[in-house]
Amino acid sequence: MAKILVVDDEENIRLLYSQELAEDGHDVTTAASAVEAVARLEDKSFDIVVLDIKLKNESGLDLLQKIVKERHDMPVILCTAFSGYKDDFSTWLADGYVVKSSDLTELKDEIKRVLAKKSQRQEP
Amino acid sequence: MEWECCWAKNEITPEDCPHIARGEEELYASQQRRVVEKCLGCSRFRNDIQKLRELHHPLAEVLPFIVEEFIDQKARLQSLGSFLNSKTWEIRFLHELNVVLQTSMDLDEILSIAMTAITAGKGFGMNRAFLLMTDKERQFIRGYLGVGPRDYDEACEIWREIGQNDLTLREMARNFQKTKLASEKIKFHDILEKMSVPLAAQQHIFNRALRERKPILIRDAFTDEGVDPELAKALGVDSFLIMPLISRNRRIGLLVADNCITHKPITLHDMQLLETFAFPVAFALERASLYERLQEEVDKLTAANEKLKEQQELIVKMEKMALVGQITSSIAHSIRNPLMIIGGFSRSLLKTTTGNDINRKNLESIVREAKQLEEVLEEVLSYADSLHPAMDIWDINQLLVGVSSRFKKRLEQTGIKYSCNTAADLPMLFVDYKQIAFCIRTIFSAMLEAPDVDEISVSTRLDGTDIVVEALDDGTASRREAGEELSPTASIIQEMGNNLGIPLCKTILEKNGNCLLIEKLPLRGTKYTIRLPIRKEGD
């Protein structure tokens, strides 16, 4: 079980992710904006962040940079509607990249993979 | 008194004077002119003066002095007259030449007039002339053009031709440019080759003439120590003239002229005359070559302008494309999220719905349709992405393996056998990775979706100047007949939502000079062949 922060400006997506990931036994917290996400990250410790790139008037990539700068051990998975961002080098900072789909299998697999990698890194 | 000469008669008959020639008939009636022009030089007149002396005529003693002085003055006047005539001719000739040389910008026209002027009887009358030009880039004096006959027979032929057509110098030059310039360049090729000299060979007679900026008249080439024996042998004459062509301190080249046929001696006067002519020739040659270079630059500039215009059009097109990309991205975000929510929640509901539930079938339909819409959306987005090609050098085998690895999981889940056979040592391709990857991915998807497919194979090979990527499946039938997938671009939109991928692949590949062929195999399966011509960067 992992503590996951989902950052997405779409309420229904946050709800869907919460339900689906909670079903798999994860502890899910959501944030609708970058400001809210920063506040959540300060309040609570998380194992992983699932981050949307387009957040209304903010950029998820700016938030990604901030997270990497301040919490370099915090894995981030980018989850976006547009696969074109994969070629943007600023997304390479993220540990994973998933194109949004109604089938959440890929996202769940990616979360598993990134968490496994994280735990491997933390092992002495 | 009976006189021997006719000087005392007003009018005479032809028998009276043997010195009056045909055309001078008016002298029969003009005593004054006859005395001045004919009698004073006549021996009969001298006899008559002698008779006067015998008669002790008072004028008889002084008359011979007067006659002698008159004849002397007359000769001097005639000499001055002919000198004046020759100078007038020279001035006229040089003026005519200068007019042509000053007004022409055409290098060939200048060469023709200059070389004709040197070799024509109406010009400087030399038998043969060579033009040598300095090649500053290669630091050489190079033989450029030779004009004149190679032997006596050819000389006779040329002189006969000139004699038949009484042409002006300009007309002769025009004729020469039209009919002979090209062939003359080849005719003296062997001699011109031997006349080439490096600019660094300071002791060579050509460089000496250029350095000293003075013409050099060689009188005995075979014994002159300053003349290269090879040059003397190539020219085959004792005497020749070297005239440097200098324009505003720039060494343009040299003129070498000789009388190889008539062997007429070259005089200092010939040299001086040619020297007067050398400066306008040098100036005209320099101007023409600068004009030619300027013309080349203008052409380059025009071509650059054309290219710039094309680039501007391309930029406008790309800006439009970028706008399309932005719109597509925006639509993607707007459609994909709701679609994901619909499909995602339907899946959630489906998980908690039993097999007997009347809503299960409806939920399954929503999930299926949402999935299909997501796939169509992905295809549209990939196509929009491919509108901005980023060409680079890629290894097609690496590209194929990279794309196929994305389907590994799906192949495992479905149990479809997969084999990949790539040819070794294939040349690199200059392609857009995203475009080719999109096409291969789409073909993979089409093969995986074919009903009853058990096996998929892909391979690469070199075929002449193309790299061929071949993909085979053994599906029993396609949703559509294989050949029908190749619909024209115009109908692509109508096919959206059904099977957009393959026609899009065909459009993308053909736009970039590649080719996609789809064949339905006789028993079962479909073969997809992508033909990629080997291109290098800049092709």
Domain boundaries, chain B: 14-86, 104-295, 389-533
Structure tokens at A105: 């299998």
- Alpha-carbon distance A79 to B470, whole Å? 34
The pLDDT, as a whole number, for residue B490 is: 32
Taking phi first (over 0 means left), then psi (-120 to 50 degrees means alpha), and beta for anything else, what does residue B462 get?
A: beta
Query: Both ends of chain B: CA-CA distance in Å?
Result: 110
Structure tokens at B16: 């009276």
* Number of Cβ pairs < 8 A linking chain A and chain B: 62
Q: In which band, very low, low, confident or very high, does the pLDDT at A85 lie, cut at 50, 70 and 90?
A: low
Query: In this structure, what are the phi and psi dihedrals at residue A120, rounded to the nearest 5 degrees?
Result: -60, -40
Residues in chain B with pLDDT values less than 70: 122, 318, 329, 332-333, 383-389, 477-500, 536-539
B337/A81 touch (CB, cutoff 8 Å), yes or no:
yes
Q: What is the pTM of this model?
A: 0.45
**Residues whose CB falls within 8 Å of the CB of residue A5, separated by 6 or more in sequence, listed in order:** A28, A29, A30, A31, A37, A40, A41, A46, A48, A49, A50
- Alpha-carbon distance A13 to B333, whole Å? 12
- Alpha-carbon distance B44 to B16, whole Å? 11
Q: Residues of A at the B interface (Cβ-Cβ below 8 Å)?
A: 10, 12-13, 16, 19-20, 54, 81-84, 87, 99-104
Task: Name the burial class of residue B379, with classes exposed (0-12), middle (13-18) and buried (19+) by CB atoms within 10 angstroms of its CB.
Answer: buried
The pLDDT, as a whole number, for residue B327 is: 76
3-state secondary structure of B134: strand
Domain boundaries, chain A: 3-122
H or E segment to which residue B246 belongs: strand B240-247
Q: Give me Rg for the CA atoms of chain A.
A: 13
The pLDDT, as a whole number, for residue B258 is: 93
Give the nearest partner residue to B339 out of A82, A87, A102, using CB atoms: A102
Q: Are A3 and A111 in contact (CB under 8 A)?
A: no
CATH code at B104-295: 3.30.450.40
A16/B346 touch (CB, cutoff 8 Å), yes or no:
no
B329/A13 touch (CB, cutoff 8 Å), yes or no:
no
B341/A81 touch (CB, cutoff 8 Å), yes or no:
no
Alpha carbon of B449: minimum distance to chain A alpha carbons (Å) = 18
> How big, in percent rounded to 5, are the helix, strand and coil portions of chain A?
50, 20, 30
The pLDDT, as a whole number, for residue B539 is: 57
CA A90, A91, A93: angle at the middle one, nearest 5? 85
The pLDDT, as a whole number, for residue B493 is: 34
Pairing of strands B240-247, B216-218: antiparallel
Whether B374 and chain A come into contact, CB under 8 Å, resolves to: yes
A102/B333 touch (CB, cutoff 8 Å), yes or no:
no
The pLDDT, as a whole number, for residue B480 is: 46
DSSP-assigned letters across all residues of A85-105: GGGSGGGGGSSEEEE--S-TH
- Alpha-carbon distance B159 to A28, whole Å? 109
H or E segment to which residue B533 belongs: strand B526-533
- Name chain A contacts of B345, Cβ cutoff 8 Å: 12, 16
Q: What is the tally of helices (H) and strands (E) in chain A?
A: 4, 7
CATH code at A3-122: 3.40.50.2300
Chain B interface, best mutation among A6, A12, A53, A82, by max B CB count within 10 A: A82
B374/A101 touch (CB, cutoff 8 Å), yes or no:
yes
The pLDDT, as a whole number, for residue B47 is: 92
Chain B interface, best mutation among A54, A83, A102, A103, by max B CB count within 10 A: A102
B367/A102 touch (CB, cutoff 8 Å), yes or no:
yes
- Alpha-carbon distance A65 to A54, whole Å? 14
CATH code at B389-533: 3.30.565.10
B378/A99 touch (CB, cutoff 8 Å), yes or no:
yes
DSSP at B538: T
The pLDDT, as a whole number, for residue B17 is: 92
What one-letter code names the amino acid at B438? F
- What share of chain A in percent tops pLDDT 70? 92
The pLDDT, as a whole number, for residue A120 is: 82
- Alpha-carbon distance B7 to B17, whole Å? 10
- Alpha-carbon distance B473 to B418, whole Å? 10
Q: Are B452 and B475 in contact (CB under 8 A)?
A: yes
- Alpha-carbon distance B389 to B321, whole Å? 11
DSSP at B4: S
